[in-house]
Each structure stands twice: as C-alpha cells, then as structure tokens.
Structure 1
Amino acid sequence: MWDHRAVALRSPAPAAPNYTTPAGFAGATWAAMGTTLHLIAPVAQLELAQTHAQACFATWEATLSRFRPTSELSQLNQQSGSTVPVSKLLWDVLATALAAARASHGIYDPTLGRGMLSIGYDRTFSEIAGLTLTAPGQFPVLGGAWRGIQMDATQRTVTLPAGAMLDFGGIAKGMAVDAALAELTQVVSGPVLLNAGGDLATIGPPPDGAWSVAIPGAGIPGAIALRGGAMATSSIGQRAWQQGQTPRHHLLDPRTGAPVANGVWATTVATQSCAQAEVAAKVALILGEEAGAAFLTRWGIAGSFLMTDGRHVTTAGWPTEEV
C-alpha cells in the first residue's frame, strides 16, 4: 500500500502543477476566484474555450466570493440566523459542501469563515501576501456549525446558525472547474486541460495518449501520465502569511481551530472530479499521513503526501508511470 521515497528537498515548498502542452495545442491564462487559471485546448478552439470558461468562473466568483460584499454568499453570511432564499448555484454548492462535511465526519468544514477572519485571512490572499498582520482578537474558532444549517428544498431557502459564516474556498473552485469542463464538452471537440491554482481536470487524453503532469512538490523527479479525470493539491505553503510573530496558513483543523501542523506539507490526489479531489486533498492533509492515507483508501482515491521532512509517500493506486 505504501511507497516511501526519500526525496532531498532544499525547500519543501510545492511547485504549481506543471504539464507539457502537446503539439497542436495552445494555452491561455487569466485570473479568477483568487487564483490563476490556465487552459490548454486545440489551437483552433482555444479562444472559444477560454470565452466559455472565463464566463463560467466570473459567475461563480460573483456568487460565491466571501471577499465581495455584494456576492450572494456574503449576503447570506450577513443574515445568519435568518431564513434566506438562495440561487440554485449557491444551493448546489452548499449541498455538496455539507455532503462532504458528513462524509469526512466534519474534517472538511464549510463554516470556518470566522476562523479565517481570526487568523487574518479577511481579504484576498494577494492583498495580505508579504504583510505582517496584527494579532487576532479571538482565536481559535472551532468548527462544527455546519451541523446546524437548515435547508428547505421546497422553498430553496437556507438558514445559517446565528454567527455562522460560510467559506466555500477550495470546493467552489473545484466545482467551478467541473462546471466549466461540462460546458466545454458541449462547445469544444477535442481534449482540454483546465487548471485553477492546482485544481486540475481534463476532458480526455491528448493525441499522444496522456497529459504529462509534474507532481506538485519541489525536488520530486518525473511526471505522471494523466489520461483523464482530475487532480488537486492542498498545501500549507500555498497561502501563508505572518500574523504578529506567528506564521499562519489557510488550512484550519476544525477540531482545534488552529492552522494544521502535523508534518504534512502538501497532499495531491487523483480522482474523477475536481470537487472531490479538492475535498479529499484537504481532508487528507488535515488528518495527517497515517489517518489521511487511511481516509483516501476508504474513499478509493489515490494520493501523494509531501512531508515537511522531505519524504514523499504515496497510497495504493497512485499513478506510478513517469514520463
């Protein structure tokens, strides 16, 4: 089940997923949902594909960003304790997030918004990167408020517990990738790869049979052959900053309310949907090497752990072919 490979790392900071653009394909890059989007498609269809993907992400960001006061998510958070009608998009994302919370026994928790505020993550990461923030007023904020969320399917209304704050974060990004690719299957003929800051999914393999994707992790040699499906990486180094004298990052353990510190620097998982990959990578990282690997095995998802001591550990089913 285990493949332990000692990797000499000068720094454990993971690199962004890297991949080779096949002959006859081209790429486009833009910013959305607090990250960088990269799309690879056949040259003749790239412009059309980018137009549809950009429009999809613009809608998702306008609806679900907690950093936009006018977004539907921000409006819902401001009305915690009250019953609020919501759009189908927000409803679907919340339903998916709550299903993930139940499946992970609360290790994935979509109600850690106030916890994020307490550690200084109160604006987009581009606005806090490199800053030293003031110490928190209240810390930690424990998870679990998701259990009190009420959803009325007949009226399509949501009632958050008083004081609860949703933060969909990565799961919304993963779902947006899946939604964009579902739309692209209707307008683009041919393989496509879409990467949203490490949440990566594909429509079929390229003509040479597989996407060559470098494993996210500085110093890890080789690349895997991804023939379809999705990958996601969760890392304590992707969004990190200083708060007073204390280093912080965006991955909170809902059991303690504190940023995770368990010896795992990054997890990468490969599965069929980007949303599932995003949740699985985050849960595995929060649980740690042993419990996280057991969790992935129960879900039937292949995973890779990059440890702070330089080890690279993979679970059963991880693509081993290097290209």
Structure 2
Amino acid sequence: MEPLEAGRATFGTERFPLWGEVATLMVTDPDRLSAARRAVDQVIADIDAACGVHREDSDLARVHAGAGRPVPVGATLHALLWTALHAAEVTGGLADPIASGPRGAWRSIVIDEPQGTVTLPPGTALDLWPMATAFAADRAAELATGQAGCGVLVSIARNVAVAGPVPTTGWPARATNGHREVAFSQDVVLRVPGGLATRNLTAPQRTPAGGRGVPHAVDPRPGHHARGPWRSVSVTAGSCVDAGTAGTAALASGHDAVDWLRSVGLPARLVHADGWVHTVGNWPADPASPA
C-alpha cells in the first residue's frame, strides 16, 4: 500500500446505493462489469436475507425473536456467526458481537450446523452489521472475480475488498468514515488482494434486526460501549473481515489501540478526536500526521 499518485488505468466502474450508503464496483476488464455486478447482487441478497437491518423477516430477526431456543437459519447467517465468534475469540472479546446482554455472552451462542440452527442466550441481542458489511465485501469480490474472470474491487460501507489480478497501477481506495467526514479521509493505492476497513465511533448507529442501535465497538473490560481518544481506525489485512476485526478491537482498546495494533502487526491509520492522524506499521505517510 502507498499514497495515491497520478497513475492511470482503465477500469469498468459502477456506483449504486446500498444500505443507506453508496457502494462501488470496479473491474479491470470493463466488458465484464455486468457479470461482476450480478455476482455482487447475489451476495447482497444473501446478506440482506440473513441479517438485513430493516428486515423483520431476516434470519437474525428470527433468532432474536426466538432467543433461548434453537432457530433454523440459512447458510449465510451460519457462516457470518462463525466469523463473528471467531473474531471475538481471537481478540479476547474486544470484537464483541453482543449488542445487549452480559459481556461474554457470545461464548454461550450455540451454532448447530448439522441441524441448521442457532440458539441465542435469553436476553441477548447481536449486532452483526459491521461484520456483515466486511463479510459481504470479501465474499462479493471473490465471487465477482470468479464469475467475471478479472480483477475486482468492491467497496461496501467503509470496507474495500480486492480480489483477482491487481492492475499495474494498483487499486485506488480511500480510508474514510464516510462522505460526511471527507476531511478525515486519505486516498491510498492497494497493490495486493485483501481488504481495507475503517471502524469508527462517529458513524450513524445502525439498529440490528430485533435489537437496538449500538456503535461499532464495545469495550468488554469496563462493560460499556468503547470510549477513547480515536474517532476512527483504518486497517489493511488479508481480508475486510480481518481488517474490520482489528479496527473494532483497536477502538475497544481505547488508549491502548496503538500498542494493540503493533502487537498484531497490521498497517493502520488512527484518526484522533482532535483530527490529527497516527499511523502504524507501513501505512503510508499522512498529511494530517503530527510533525
């Protein structure tokens, strides 16, 4: 990864509204844009059916409604839950998918793959949306490059996934909190497949289906939503899921975020509440970094 410069390449590009934001699809072969878009739409439909924020008939809404007993769910929610629980495990609970309920309740979630069911502890609600958007970007990019037969970039809700052949100029990407916070963004170039994800404490809260609005990060140590000096954390990793997990964990670490990110060896960009930037690892130099 490096700063965005004046390199030029011809991409097929499409931007479209998705989940209250604007998604971007780019392909190295403009003639394969339609094939890639069909693949992306397939993944979006699967995620929406699994845990769509405003869908009362989603699998996640039914799991919330049936808390305390096994609820049949589809393969997408199964995979998403496994991913979220793994993220919680590897971060020591810093990337906690629980929106309401006792801290550590994620350990009591039962996923029965042979029976195709999920059991949520009574009195517990999940917030899978930040993980779901990262999961969607990764899966959409992989499926699109397979079906289109070319390099693909998919950007969904501050998650940028790259799959397949990378153009010689690299992929243009942005570490951003969203269009309302352009001043805190940085344009970069991605030169290897993987993911860039930004997690923050300033984005509008989403309401999980059947749950309540929560920020991206929950600090399990004091047992309340994360508060700290950083307004956002952007991370690059082998996937958007891994990058987003690290960003969430860093925010939950509060004042220890920089040390935590150094411990896992991932390039990162942290935006302070006062607007200045601190970078970790080989993240490219940022004009907003203190001298």
Band of TM-score, shorter chain: 0.7 to 0.9
Is residue 37 of structure 1 aligned with residue 35 of structure 2? no
Partner of 1:186: 146
More displaced 10-residue stretch of structure 1: 193-202 or 150-159: 150-159
Distance across 1 between alignment mates of 2:45 and 2:16: 11
Runs of at least 5 residues in structure 2 that lack an aligned partner in the other structure: 207-212
Aligned length: 271
Distance across 1 between alignment mates of 2:126 and 2:254: 24
> How far apart are residue 146 of structure 1 and its match?
0.7
The structure 1 residue matched to 2:155, chosen from 178, 190, 195, is 195
Partner of 1:128: none
> How far apart are residue 174 of structure 1 and its match?
0.7
Is residue 110 of structure 1 aligned with residue 97 of structure 2? yes
Is residue 62 of structure 1 aligned with residue 49 of structure 2? yes
Is residue 89 of structure 1 aligned with residue 71 of structure 2? no
Q: Secondary structure at the match of 1:288?
A: helix
Q: Is the 8 A contact 1:225 1:319 kept in 2?
A: no
Partner of 2:229: 263
Is residue 226 of structure 1 aligned with residue 164 of structure 2? no
Q: Is the 8 A contact 2:199 2:233 kept in 1?
A: yes
> How far apart are residue 152 of structure 1 and its match?
2.7
> How far apart are residue 315 of structure 1 and its match?
1.1
Q: Secondary structure at the match of 2:26?
A: strand
The structure 2 residue matched to 1:48, chosen from 22, 35, 39, is 35
Deviations 1:111-151 (A, max 9, x none): 21x4xxxxxxxxxxxxxxxxxxxxxxxxxx65322121122
Kindly provide the amino acid, as one letter, of the partner of residue 25 in structure 1.
F
Distance across 1 between alignment mates of 2:161 and 2:103: 29
Kindly provide the amino acid, as one letter, of the partner of residue 281 in structure 2.
A
The 1:39–1:220 alpha-carbon spacing in structure 2 relative to 1, beyond 3 Å, is same
Partner of 2:209: none
Q: Is the 8 A contact 2:32 2:148 kept in 1?
A: yes
Q: Is the 8 A contact 1:21 1:40 kept in 2?
A: no
Kindly provide the amino acid, as one letter, of the partner of residue 266 in structure 1.
S
Which one scores higher on RCO, CA 8 angstroms, separation ≥ 6?
1
The 1:43–1:317 alpha-carbon spacing in structure 2 relative to 1, beyond 3 Å, is same
Distance across 1 between alignment mates of 2:230 and 2:48: 29
Tell me the C-alpha RMSD between the 2 structures. Answer: 2.8
Distance across 2 between alignment mates of 1:151 and 1:20: 49
Q: Is the 8 A contact 1:177 1:274 kept in 2?
A: yes
Distance across 1 between alignment mates of 2:134 and 2:96: 15
Distance across 2 between alignment mates of 1:23 and 1:181: 19
The 1:267–1:153 alpha-carbon spacing in structure 2 relative to 1, beyond 3 Å, is same
Q: Is the 8 A contact 1:269 1:304 kept in 2?
A: yes
Deviations 1:145-184 (A, max 9, x none): 2121122343232221111112211111111111111211
From the CA coordinates, give the structure whose radius of gyration is larger: 1
